Structure 1
Amino acid sequence: MNQEGKSIYEQYLEIVSATPEVDSSLLQKHVRNLRESEKYLPIGMTFLFITNSSKQKYEFITKNVEYCTGLKLQDLYEEGVNYIMSRIHPEEIKKWHAIVGEIINELLKLPEDQRLKANFQLQYRLKNGSGKYINISDGHIPIALNDDGIPYLFLSQVTVLGSGEKAEPKGILMCLNNNNEYDVIFKTPDKAGNIEIFLTDREIEVLNYVGKGMTSKDIADKIHVSKETVDKHRKNIIKKMNVNNVVEAYSKAKRADLIE
């Protein structure tokens, strides 16, 4: 991908635009899974969707997107990915393009059989349905490759992290290794450097259980609170530690000797 004058992201979209229609059986399988998962999502915090980069549209979006963002399902389906792109904070869109370009570059360096084991996440500000900016974490897992081995269909998740606080856009690309653990392939530099981490005892307890592979429901049962409370703890941990997800938070806390 080295066409002069075009960003890597733009070149990527051109390449995958010729991808044939999605395998309907594959798509329906993931839609069924998302419909089931939707029952357990915390209202106002997280929504799931399937992104088709080749057509720049969403194949499916869980209904709670409206609770999380105030954006209308109909607008998202009709206008597709460009609708979301138009709502990224203008101070961050250029950096967003650069980060996504770097992630795509690194993703395509992976052997083809590892690309469906990848997981990349972004953090940036998005304008909600009320015209106010919110901080979100936007994660994507490839679920289909085109004939050239390039990912074009993604299982995606957005979690609302905050109410528009100014923060540098961030991105991370990870890949599952043979031990079923994520290796970090690419990560935007942390300009804040080594900052002191302040977590409550309960947040540290939750993070310890995350490191043991427990789900929010498992943790809730273990510490005798609601699943929604655990999800709020996870959200606070991500925000406090300035990371993309709880997996990265666990690794960072481990290095800082905050957890066992």
Structure 2
Amino acid sequence: MDILSQFQRIFETDLEVHTDAFRTHLDRIRETDQLTPPNSTFLTIANTTTQKYDYLSENFTILTGHDRADFMAQGMPFFLQQVHPDDVQIWLGGLADIISFVMQEVSPENRLRVDVRFNFRMRMASGEYVNIIENQVPIHLDQYGKPVVGMGYVMLNGQGDPQPIQGTVRLLNDAGQYETLLHKNYSQKLLTDGLTNRERDVIRQVALGDDNETIGQKLFISKETVKTHRKNILRKLQCDNFPEVIAKIMSRGFFL
């Protein structure tokens, strides 16, 4: 099942996901899907109050080997058992840090515009581990403004080699584009640790094929500022051009 069909199935459920912010998140996810290998993603909707999955896309079993119905019935405790033992505590600690940041730094009215992204290794039914990149988009907030129901866009990425655990918080701006609020590496130092949040945003837009003027319009900065960011990125990563930048960072644990 292609990614568009998966999105359509979510809108056919009884879940209240018909918000402008949610649809804009989906537009950005569709863009990212153009940069990923085909048939490598599945969707989830998780409810932290019940510790259950309200939805898993139908290709979940094909990609992971796990029985979809059993996974939904056993919920998040079973999912945690599938996270690599070397990753799970780092990932949980990073997730707690990210949630604390969102609650302290993002106003309640903007929290449905937030996208949280993490990576970890997950065990397939075969027993082998695969690297996972997951974007979480909040759908519902509790009475305290804390996200409690979220949609996960999960990409299988690699063969299970150890990768630094990274967490990112992005916010949809008024143009419907992501701007990075926070990026943290919770493991060893990375090549990309010296990049600023804005430089990460520029790299993503370049990878999507935008020119300097379009990037400036989407990020509300001037074309000259975009050029300056691009020069700084090339200098920091010691690259001659942006195809080299994209290839270099994607091979070393950076995700767009």
Shorter-normalised TM range: 0.5 to 0.7
How far the C-alpha of 1:50 sits from its partner, in A, is 0.8
Asked if structure 2 preserves the Cα contact closer than 8 Å seen for 1:121 and 1:171, the reply is: yes
Which residue matches 2:50? 55
Equivalent pairs counted in the alignment come to 187
Which residue matches 2:218? none
Instruction: Assess, with a 3 A threshold, how the Cα gap between structure 1 residues 238 and 141 changes in structure 2: closer, same or farther.
Output: farther
Offset from partner CA, 1:107-132 (integer Å, 9 cap, x none): 11210011000000111111101000
Indicate the percent of aligned positions where both proteins have the same amino acid.
23
Asked if structure 2 preserves the Cα contact closer than 8 Å seen for 1:122 and 1:244, the reply is: no
Paired with 1:48 and 1:91, the residues of 2 have a C-alpha distance of 24
Offset from partner CA, 1:115-161 (integer Å, 9 cap, x none): 00000011111110100000010110001111221111111111000
Paired with 1:25 and 1:70, the residues of 2 have a C-alpha distance of 26
Once the two structures are superposed, the pairs formed by residues 1-260 of structure 1 within 5 Å of their partners are 24=14, 26=16, 44-109=39-104, 110-189=106-185, 191-194=189-192, 207-209=207-209, 239-240=250-251, 242-245=253-256
Instruction: Assess, with a 3 A threshold, how the Cα gap between structure 1 residues 28 and 76 changes in structure 2: closer, same or farther.
Output: farther
Asked if structure 1 preserves the Cα contact closer than 8 Å seen for 2:43 and 2:57, the reply is: yes
Instruction: Assess, with a 3 A threshold, how the Cα gap between structure 1 residues 183 and 87 changes in structure 2: closer, same or farther.
Output: same
Paired with 1:205 and 1:179, the residues of 2 have a C-alpha distance of 13
Paired with 2:52 and 2:249, the residues of 1 have a C-alpha distance of 28
Paired with 1:93 and 1:205, the residues of 2 have a C-alpha distance of 31
How far the C-alpha of 1:66 sits from its partner, in A, is 1.3
Asked if structure 2 preserves the Cα contact closer than 8 Å seen for 1:161 and 1:239, the reply is: no
Instruction: Assess, with a 3 A threshold, how the Cα gap between structure 1 residues 58 and 42 changes in structure 2: closer, same or farther.
Output: farther
In structure 2, give the amino acid aligned to 1:131.
G
TM-score by length of 2: 0.64
Which residue matches 1:250? none
SS in 2 for 1:54: coil
* RMSD (CA atoms): 3.3
Which residue matches 1:227? none
Paired with 2:126 and 2:247, the residues of 1 have a C-alpha distance of 23
Unaligned runs of at least 5 residues, structure 2: 1-12, 194-203, 216-245
Instruction: Assess, with a 3 A threshold, how the Cα gap between structure 1 residues 114 and 125 changes in structure 2: closer, same or farther.
Output: same
Unaligned runs of at least 5 residues, structure 1: 1-22, 196-203, 214-234, 246-260
Instruction: Assess, with a 3 A threshold, how the Cα gap between structure 1 residues 151 and 167 changes in structure 2: closer, same or farther.
Output: same
Paired with 2:164 and 2:84, the residues of 1 have a C-alpha distance of 11
Asked if structure 1 preserves the Cα contact closer than 8 Å seen for 2:47 and 2:150, the reply is: yes
TM-score by length of 1: 0.63
How far the C-alpha of 1:236 sits from its partner, in A, is 7.6
Asked if structure 1 preserves the Cα contact closer than 8 Å seen for 2:191 and 2:252, the reply is: no
Asked if structure 2 preserves the Cα contact closer than 8 Å seen for 1:121 and 1:244, the reply is: no
